[in-house]
């Protein structure tokens, strides 16, 4: 069976994001996303589906394929809406998004800069930030844990982002995916001396493990972790393979009161994608997906 998908592909800090404009059933999200992300199709790191909002005050709804929340996808969605509304230079556009993975609306602010868009996203606050010592593969690791409602990030401070640390991060993500039962696990390799991060995102339901070139949610988690560690307001520019995303973590009586990220985004392609499903394969995928999301 062949499906025709209307899409827009957006580049927030090279975290290539496909936004699907056509309407699909929820049990189709994962198989469609898997095809679109593949090298022989549109090719990207993540897929979100544009839906009509159901919450009061929301301008649009973004449903990620794995049910997760994603800060960079919010930047992508805000960019798409800015383009659709013909945002002009030196004019600020405020957008409220209903997003998967979080209950509250996500506030975005967009400015057009030349042919790109500077996007500011007010991120959901973590439930808890803590540090734990664990033993993994014979190594004694001290890890920062940034917990949210439906996912968590691990901040692993390292001296350098080496192939060895990447392998450790991948193994740790798979292990946590088995035992934690969550939509998303992020491992942020973080070099504090240079404010450099390499983000690994693992979606157990989608079977997707990607070293992203930029991660907005991971940047926010680094900000929350640094706020917890330094016990006060911090502002930092976090360098990542695809560019830099800034984060501001504002303190109120040593409690985290606000967490905002800012980066640059732009549309790189839009049009129609064509995906093929064998009839039985599509039914099997849909059945499996429905079970995953139940």
What residues act catalytically?
Answer: 70, 215
Q: How far apart are CA 236 and CA 47, in angstroms?
A: 28
Strands 17-20 and 116-122: unpaired
Q: How far apart are CA 286 and CA 155, in angstroms?
A: 34
| Whether the Cβ atoms of residue 148 and residue 127 lie closer than 8 Å to each other | yes
The packing angle between helices 279-293 and 29-37, to 10°, is 120
DSSP one-letter code for 85: T
CA-CA distances (angstroms) from residue 197 to 7, 31, 47, 105, 171?
Answer: 30, 30, 22, 27, 18
Residue 175 corresponds to which tokens in the numbers above? 């292990």
Q: How far apart are CA 11 and CA 233, in angstroms?
A: 29
């Amino acid at each position: 069976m062949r499906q025709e998908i209307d899409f827009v592909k957006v580049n927030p800090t090279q975290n290539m994001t496909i936004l699907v404009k056509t309407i699909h059933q929820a049990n189709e999200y994962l198989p469609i996303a898997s095809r679109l992300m593949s090298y022989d199709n549109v090719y990207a790191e993540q897929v979100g589906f544009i839906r009509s909002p159901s919450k009061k005050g929301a301008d649009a709804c973004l449903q990620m394929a794995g049910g997760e929340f994603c800060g960079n996808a919010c930047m992508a969605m805000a960019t798409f809406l800015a383009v659709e509304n013909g945002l002009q230079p030196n004019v600020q556009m405020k957008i409220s998004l209903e997003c998967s993975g979080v209950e509250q609306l996500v506030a975005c602010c967009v400015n057009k800069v030349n042919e790109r868009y500077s996007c500011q996203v007010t991120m959901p606050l973590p439930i808890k930030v803590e540090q734990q010592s664990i033993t993994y593969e014979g190594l004694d690791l001290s890890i920062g844990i940034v917990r949210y409602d439906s996912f968590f990030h691990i901040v692993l401070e390292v001296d350098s982002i080496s192939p060895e640390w990447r392998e450790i991060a991948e193994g740790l993500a798979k292990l946590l995916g088995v035992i934690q039962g969550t939509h998303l696990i992020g491992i942020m390799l973080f070099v504090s001396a240079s404010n450099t991060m390499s983000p690994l995102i693992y979606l157990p339901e989608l079977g997707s493990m990607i070293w992203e070139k930029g991660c907005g949610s991971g940047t926010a988690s680094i900000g929350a972790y640094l706020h917890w560690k330094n016990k006060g307001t911090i502002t930092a520019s976090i360098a990542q393979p695809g560019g830099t995303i800034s984060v501001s973590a504002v303190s109120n009586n040593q409690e985290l009161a606000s967490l905002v990220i800012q980066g640059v985004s732009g549309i790189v392609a839009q049009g129609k994608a064509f995906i093929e499903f064998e009839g039985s394969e599509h039914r099997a995928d849909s059945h499996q997906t429905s079970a995953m999301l139940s």
